[in-house]
């Protein structure tokens, strides 16, 4: 029978006095500003959540982890925890040198002695760790589009924990949790990992899992980084707090885990197990499609539904934590209670609401029954996810110069203002270049900065319930996708490809720019001497050749209506 010994585990922090001294000394070191993901990783490295790692992986450990899920010395470790940096920064660093690791406000959190520097084969990492080099996988996308080109590895000396201003009382290091369990005499603890709001079925299944394992229960939600598009952690934690009240008081607790998930399915499940073991747990609930990233670019699941359970089971002795099956619970109407789906006889009425159906009901402001969720949870979700027709959204026009983007965007703006209800802002290409991006030119780098600025402003407008209409050329697919992700975290994104062909745009040549471009007097001109990557799956494509503006604008309005963004009176 698994019983936790709950002795403290090693941390990478120096003593308080040494930390003060080191912090001053580290002020002179070359310093790296950590990305949000690296801050999450560093916190768990320093506090022992990633025990036995002593720092960011060096090349030998990285190769070994990627190839065989083990550190070089054979210890099971499924996830490359690496410090990716820019080539520019890496070029300045010598092997053996100490660097300071700073948070986004410039506070030094740790130093690292760089023992290894290499350029990883990201395609191999994607294939081996995530199962496919497919950009539809969020971690693969991150690897190719956000992570720096060079990895640095080496041991860490921890100076201070990253600062969190939210839910402080709910955040615990592994040793704090271990001490808490010791104090309460909890020796068998089932951990439940989650990145979603909990409803009644989750409460039933977790409570049942704990009862079956004769253990206490730790609700251990991830609040670091989860899958793009997930419900934000502020809302989720308010929901979890409401659900926590539904368990018998002495049986269950909750702690927040500042993990940056990779959505790596089976490997991630093993990683989650090791992390929970470090937090003093003895059991871990693994369900269907654990940490699944969704569909790949061919529309299929990245991993089989039980791959994670299989890999976990194979390694559970080594992880040192027992897997508990996630029992799929459904509501039996005749008996007014939840029961495991596999124990229900024929002939009874089973009720269930899928995740997709729940999102639809929230989006359309429809009823969510009490048998499905707790009223407090539903009310929290409704606050952050108002019906789609009340949420902010962004209409993002993209197309060649002279394709008609601005004209249609203007017409759409006026029509939306006539309807009323939400503030509308037009971020037209020329306006943005004047007020936000006046120092930028038209190189790929500058265009990307320009589009990301537009995306940022639009995401803020969307977040706060307004409508942003953007109309830049935005020639690069990857940058547009980045903007989409930024915005979809807060509301809908409607990409409209103004697909007027180049010949037509050139024929119109309202600003005379095509002529100058042809004569070589304007360099890097989109469509002439610079690329335009047409969207493959925009929400809408309109070609203005032979169509009047009003008709095009009407098509956009109808699309918005179809997307549920404009409600009837
Ligand atoms: S981008 O690529 O999205 O950053 O471009 P954008 O900010 O929309 O700016 C496009 C407008 O700038 C004028 N212009 C050029 N366009 C393309 N290529 C080059 N080299 C260039 N130089 C100036 C042009 O008038 C574009 O306006 P629109 O409204 O699209 O015609």
Distance between alpha carbon 9 and the CA centroid of its chain, in Å? 29
Strand ranges inside 189-333, DSSP E: 189-194, 216-221, 252-254, 283-286, 322-325, 329-332
CA distance 399 to 406: 10
Is 188 catalytic? The answer is no
Say whether both 237 and 300 belong to one domain. yes
Residue 378 pLDDT more than 80?
yes
Q: Which domain holds residue 141?
A: 16-158
Say whether both 193 and 124 belong to one domain. no
Residue 569 pLDDT more than 90?
no
For residue range 312-351, what is the model confidence (pLDDT) as tens digits? 999 999 999 999 987 788 999 999 999 988 899 999 999 9
Distance of CA 473 from the midpoint of ligand 1 (Å): 6
For residue range 175-210, what is the model confidence (pLDDT) as tens digits? 999 999 999 999 999 999 999 999 999 999 999 999
What pLDDT was estimated at residue 450? 97
Distance of CA 142 from the midpoint of ligand 1 (Å): 28
Distance of CA 400 from the midpoint of ligand 1 (Å): 8
Residue 234 pLDDT more than 60?
yes
Number of domains into which the chain is organized: 3
Residue 30 near residue 92, CB atoms below 8 Å: yes
Q: Is the CB of 448 under 6 A from ligand 1?
A: no
Q: Is the CB of 513 under 6 A from ligand 1?
A: yes
The model's confidence at residue 80, banded by pLDDT at 50, 70 and 90, is very high
DSSP code of residue 127: I
Task: Choose the catalytic residue: 111, 173, 194, 206.
Answer: 194
The model's confidence at residue 275, banded by pLDDT at 50, 70 and 90, is very high
Is 410 catalytic? The answer is no
Domain boundary among 290, 312, 330: 330
What pLDDT was estimated at residue 156? 98
Say whether both 64 and 178 belong to one domain. no
Binding residues for ATP: 399-406
Residue 480 near residue 382, CB atoms below 8 Å: no
Mean pLDDT of 37-45: 98
For residue range 470-501, what is the model confidence (pLDDT) as tens digits? 999 999 999 999 999 999 988 999 999 999 99
373 in any annotated domain:
no
CA distance 485 to 492: 10
CA distance 265 to 309: 9
Phi, then psi, of 313 in degrees rounded to 5: -60, -40
What does pLDDT average to over the chain? 95
Residue 263 near residue 296, CB atoms below 8 Å: no
Is 194 catalytic? The answer is yes
The predicted complex's ipTM stands at 0.93
Domain of 498: which CATH number? 3.40.50.300
Mean pLDDT of 214-234: 93
Say whether both 231 and 93 belong to one domain. no
DSSP code of residue 418: H
What pLDDT was estimated at residue 236? 95
Residue 393 pLDDT more than 60?
yes
What pLDDT was estimated at residue 1? 54
Domain boundary among 330, 348, 369: 330
Domain of 39: which CATH number? 3.10.400.10
DSSP code of residue 76: B
338 in any annotated domain:
no
Residue 545 near residue 508, CB atoms below 8 Å: no
Say whether both 73 and 177 belong to one domain. no
What pLDDT was estimated at residue 568? 61
Say whether both 151 and 173 belong to one domain. no
């Amino acid at each position: 029978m698994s019983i936790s010994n709950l002795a403290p585990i090693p941390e990478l922090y120096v003593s308080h006095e040494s930390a003060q001294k080191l912090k001053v000394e580290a002020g002179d070191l070359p310093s790296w500003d950590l990305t949000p993901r690296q801050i999450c990783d560093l916190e768990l490295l320093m506090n022992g959540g990633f025990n036995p790692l002593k720092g960011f992986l060096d090349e030998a450990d990285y190769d070994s982890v990627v190839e065989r899920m083990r550190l070089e010395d054979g210890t099971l470790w499924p996830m490359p925890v690496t410090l990716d940096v820019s080539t520019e920064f890496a070029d300045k660093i010598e092997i053996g040198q100490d660097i300071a690791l700073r948070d986004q406000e410039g506070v030094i959190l740790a130093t690292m002695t760089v023992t290894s520097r290499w350029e990883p084969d990201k395609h191999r990492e994607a294939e081996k760790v995530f199962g496919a080099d497919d950009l539809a996988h969020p971690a693969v996308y991150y690897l190719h589009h956000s992570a720096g080109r060079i990895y640095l590895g080496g041991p860490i000396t921890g100076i201070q924990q990253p600062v969190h201003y939210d839910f402080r009382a709910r955040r615990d290091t592994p040793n704090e949790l271990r001490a808490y369990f010791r104090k309460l005499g909890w020796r068998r603890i089932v951990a439940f990992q989650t990145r979603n709001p909990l409803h009644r079925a989750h409460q039933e299944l977790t409570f049942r899992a704990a009862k079956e394992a004769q253990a206490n229960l730790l609700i251990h939600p991830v609040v670091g980084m989860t899958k793009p598009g997930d419900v934000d952690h502020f809302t989720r934690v308010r929901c979890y707090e409401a659900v926590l009240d539904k368990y018998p008081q002495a049986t269950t607790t909750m702690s927040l885990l500042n993990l940056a998930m990779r959505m790596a399915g089976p490997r991630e499940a093993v990683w989650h197990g090791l992390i929970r073991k470090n937090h003093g747990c003895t059991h871990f609930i693994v369900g269907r499609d654990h940490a699944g990233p969704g569909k790949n670019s061919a529309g299929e699941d990245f991993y089989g539904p039980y791959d994670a359970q299989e890999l976990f089971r194979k390694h559970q002795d080594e992880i040192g934590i027992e897997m508990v099956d996630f029992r799929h619970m459904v509501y039996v109407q005749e008996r007014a209670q939840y029961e495991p789906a596999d124990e229900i006889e024929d002939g009874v009425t089973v009720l269930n609401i899928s995740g997709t159906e729940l999102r639809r009901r929230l989006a359309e402001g429809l009823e969510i029954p009490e048998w499905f969720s707790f009223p407090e949870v539903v009310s929290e979700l409704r606050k952050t996810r108002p019906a789609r027709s009340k949420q902010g959204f962004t209409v993002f026009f993209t197309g060649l110069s002279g394709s008609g983007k601005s004209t249609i965007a203007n017409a759409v703006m006026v029509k939306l203002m006539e309807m009323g209800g939400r503030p509308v802002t037009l971020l037209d290409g020329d306006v943005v270049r004047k007020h936000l991006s006046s120092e930028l030119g038209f190189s790929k780098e500058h265009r990307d900065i320009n589009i990301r600025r537009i995306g940022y402003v639009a995401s803020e407008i969307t977040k706060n319930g307004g409508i942003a209409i953007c109309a830049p050329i935005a020639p690069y697919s990857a940058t547009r996708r980045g903007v989409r992700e930024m915005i979809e975290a807060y509301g809908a994104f409607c990409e409209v490809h103004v697909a007027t062909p180049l010949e037509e745009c050139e024929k119109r040549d309202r600003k005379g720019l095509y002529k100058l471009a042809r004569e070589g007097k304007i360099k890097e001109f989109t469509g002439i001497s610079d690329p335009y990557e047409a969207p493959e799956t925009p929400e809408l494509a309109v070609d203005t050749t032979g169509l009047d503006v009003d008709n095009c604008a009407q098509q956009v309005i109808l699309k918005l209506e179809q997307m549920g963004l404009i409600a009837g009176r």
